[in-house]
Amino acid sequence: MTLLAGIFVGGKATRFAGMAKGLLPAPDGGQPIAARLARLCRDGLGADVVLVGRATSYEGLGLPSLDDLPPGVGPLGGLGALLGEAGRRGCPAIALACDLPYVTTAMVTRLANFALRAAAVAPRPSGIWQPLFARYDPTACLPVLRAAVAERRFQARAILEKLGDDAVPLPLDAVEEPLLFDWDCPEDVTRAR
């Protein structure tokens, strides 16, 4: 199955004083987190990888990038761009936040292959969808995204919520759940060391 993986890099990183979180060294070898995620997707899935959101600091990774669509609505705009590109290619999309330093190849592979007929698949720990570690069918999800934008519901998880039973939770075991821990602030990086 062909896949398009999008690594979301367009955030402002205000809690990191504007520093690009995806360029922080991953704890398992020092490769930038975004480059590590790209490698996991290419090696584990054979996926094409794009950066979602324009961030000049990521140009050194040599990956193509997509502008948010629509712009100015946060991660939902990035998801619109990713789903639009995946729809043009006729393939599902995997969305990954750039600040996930612990995700494994096995987790990404399971995400890609779990409940293949579902409109979307994402973990839902404690009842909260994780929209930036998720797989989306662009045909099913783009109309839902457009409706969420029209309703001014700009949270990325709005798509998963609006899909109802067409969104399938990806089960995580006790080992996997902490691997979705993201680096939202400098204290998260310090705590990880």
pLDDT in tens, 107-166: 999 999 999 999 999 999 999 999 999 999 999 999 999 999 999 999 989 999 999 999
CB burial of residue 175 (10 Å; 0-12, 13-18, 19+) = exposed
Contact present, 159 and 148 (Cβ < 8 Å): yes
pLDDT in the model for residue 83: 98
Compare 180 and 17 and report the one with higher pLDDT: 180
Number of domains in the chain: 1
Whether the pLDDT of residue 193 is over 50: the answer is no
pLDDT in the model for residue 16: 58
Helix (H, G, I), strand (E, B) or coil at 7: strand
Compare 186 and 165 and report the one with higher pLDDT: 165
Contact present, 100 and 113 (Cβ < 8 Å): no
- Cα-Cα-Cα-Cα torsion 155, 159, 162, 166, nearest 10 degrees, comes to -150
Give which of 100, 122, 96 is closest to 111, Cα–Cα.
122
Give which of 38, 53, 54 is closest to 3, Cα–Cα.
38
Give which of 92, 119, 126 is closest to 108, Cα–Cα.
92
pLDDT in the model for residue 192: 59
The tokens of 54 are what? 């324009």
pLDDT in the model for residue 140: 98
Contact present, 183 and 189 (Cβ < 8 Å): yes
Q: Identify the domain containing residue 105 by its residue range.
A: 4-192
pLDDT in the model for residue 10: 73
Contact present, 182 and 97 (Cβ < 8 Å): yes
Whether the pLDDT of residue 186 is over 80: the answer is no
Q: For 31-70, what is each residue's pLDDT tens digit?
A: 999 999 999 999 999 999 999 987 789 999 999 999 999 9
Q: Give Cβ neighbours of residue 175 (< 8 Å, ≥ 6 apart).
A: none
Give which of 116, 67, 68 is closest to 92, Cα–Cα.
116
Q: For 79-117, what is each residue's pLDDT tens digit?
A: 999 999 999 999 999 999 999 999 999 999 999 999 999
Residue 22: phi, psi to the nearest 5?
Answer: -70, -10
- Using CA atoms, how far apart are residues 189 and 175, in angstroms rounded to an integer? 19
Task: Say which CATH number the domain at 116 has.
Answer: 3.90.550.10
